[in-house]
């Protein structure tokens, strides 16, 4: 069944590509009219002037931006910016203005050939905008932290508290990345940790930083863990949900239910799309997090309640905005140290992503959820 769904989705994706191209070609002769219409839309909805000199204004340097923008929405305009066809005076302010008018943001399909996968970049890239733990996830500023290093440490401490860590237990770290959380838990508590990741470079790095600790790093997918062979007292997943795909949420929760021991605790920290926003944010899907799907909280809780009881929810939307603002600042400051190793588009893609995520009350939010395993699935 999963194979059939994947085939259908793939076919639909390519049909969307063809439709967008055909639409673009059809719109080209109407470019002068499109220019008038789009200039009016930007002025009316965003108080933004094309060619203006206000902080959030932008300049159109190539006429092709108009048919591309009309046929492919936000992603089309983002591609135009990366090609130098659009100049933006202040990206953060532009996103702040546009996120307040979500009907203008149309996240459409973008060709796979244009993608830069998250896992293709090396640790040196992440070091330009992350702290020493290399945790590429929203940190916690609710305990007075003013810098990313402290906020990430506070996030790991908070997560350990929610997991109710006890000596001798076994913890599964889903999507362990570079091993920062696995290392923290094993170093500060008398426990055993199993961390899993799909990335070879992340697995190698995590294995190295955790090599003297009771941590096992596996380069596998969450589906490959066999519940008949092993179970865990605690499971933690930091920003893992939106990687599992649009039709895998029930299978994911069922797998965790079977992997978790009776009365076990599950802690998930993740993004969720706001109710009035588009669910399929394809700029992130094709450029930064391939294959992602961002759920709403209603979707998450509708499935989770079959297997787990929600004990606590912590809104981290403010923390998300602060974290990505700091990440954006660090990326811009440190990019020159590695710019000779990467295509400039890698910088541009992450700059757009960080700027969009740093907007208060943007299109998506973040939160940490604490679940208790039910005695029996519903």
pLDDT at 108: 37
Residue ranges per structural domain of the chain: 2-114, 119-373
pLDDT at 34: 80
Is residue 190 within 8 Å of residue 170, measured between CB atoms? no
Looking at every residue in the chain, the average pLDDT score rounds to 81
244-258 mean pLDDT: 89
Q: Report d(CA 236, CA 181) in Å as an integer.
A: 10
pTM, whole model, 2 decimals?
0.74
Question: Among 50-54, 255-259, 321-325, 343-347, whose mean pLDDT is lowest?
Answer: 50-54
Work out the percent of the chain whose per-residue pLDDT is above 90: 47
pLDDT at 64: 83
pLDDT at 46: 62
Query: What's the number of CA atoms in the CB half-sphere (13 Å) around residue 134?
Result: 19
* Structure confidence at residue 5 as a pLDDT band (50, 70, 90): very low
Query: What's the number of CA atoms in the CB half-sphere (13 Å) around residue 222?
Result: 24
Class of domain 119-373: alpha beta
Query: What's the number of CA atoms in the CB half-sphere (13 Å) around residue 363?
Result: 26
pLDDT at 133: 95
- pLDDT tens-digit series, residues 85-109: 877 765 555 665 555 444 444 433 3
pLDDT at 117 over 70: no
Contacts of 112 (CB under 8 A, 6+ apart): 286
- pLDDT tens-digit series, residues 160-216: 999 999 999 999 999 999 999 999 999 999 999 999 998 889 999 999 999 999 999
Comparing 36 with 175, the larger pLDDT belongs to: 175
Distance set, CA 142 to CA 152, 154, 157, 247, 368 (Å): 11, 8, 12, 34, 13
């Amino acid at each position: 069944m999963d194979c059939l769904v994947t085939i259908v989705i793939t076919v639909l994706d390519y049909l969307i590509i063809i439709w967008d191209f055909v639409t673009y070609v059809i719109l080209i002769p109407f470019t002068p009219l499109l220019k008038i219409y789009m200039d009016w839309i930007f002025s009316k909805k965003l108080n933004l002037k094309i060619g203006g000199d206000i902080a959030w204004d932008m300049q159109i340097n190539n006429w092709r931006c108009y048919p591309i923008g009309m046929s492919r929405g936000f992603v089309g305009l983002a591609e135009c910016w990366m090609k130098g066809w659009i100049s933006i005076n202040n990206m953060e302010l532009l996103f702040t203005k546009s996120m307040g008018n979500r009907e203008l943001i149309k996240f459409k399909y973008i060709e796979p050939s244009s993608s830069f996968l998250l896992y293709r970049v090396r640790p040196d890239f992440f070091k330009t905008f992350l702290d020493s733990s290399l945790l590429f996830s929203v940190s916690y500023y609710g305990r007075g932290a003013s810098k990313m290093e402290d906020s990430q440490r506070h996030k790991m401490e908070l997560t350990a508290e929610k997991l109710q860590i006890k000596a001798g237990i076994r913890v599964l770290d889903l999507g362990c990345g570079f091993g920062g959380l696995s290392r923290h838990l094993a170093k500060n508590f008398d426990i055993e940790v199993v961390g899993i990741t799909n990335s070879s470079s992340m697995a190698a790095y995590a294995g190295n930083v955790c090599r003297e600790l009771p941590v096992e790093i596996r380069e596998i997918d969450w589906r490959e863990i066999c519940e008949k062979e092993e179970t865990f007292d605690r499971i933690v997943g930091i920003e893992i949900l939106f990687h599992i795909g649009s039709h895998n949420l029930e299978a994911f929760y069922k797998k965790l239910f079977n992997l978790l021991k009776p009365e076990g605790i599950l802690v998930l920290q993740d993004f969720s799309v706001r109710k009035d926003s588009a669910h399929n944010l394809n700029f992130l899907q094709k450029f930064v997090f391939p294959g992602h799907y961002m759920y709403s909280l209603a979707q998450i809780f509708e499935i989770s309640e079959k297997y787990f009881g929600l004990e606590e929810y912590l809104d981290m939307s403010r923390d998300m905005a602060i974290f990505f603002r700091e990440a954006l600042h660090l990326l811009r400051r440190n990019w020159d140290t590695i710019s000779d190793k990467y295509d400039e588009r890698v910088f541009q893609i992450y700059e757009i992503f960080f700027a969009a995520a740093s907007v208060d009350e943007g299109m998506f939010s973040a939160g940490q959820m604490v679940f208790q395993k039910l005695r029996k699935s519903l």
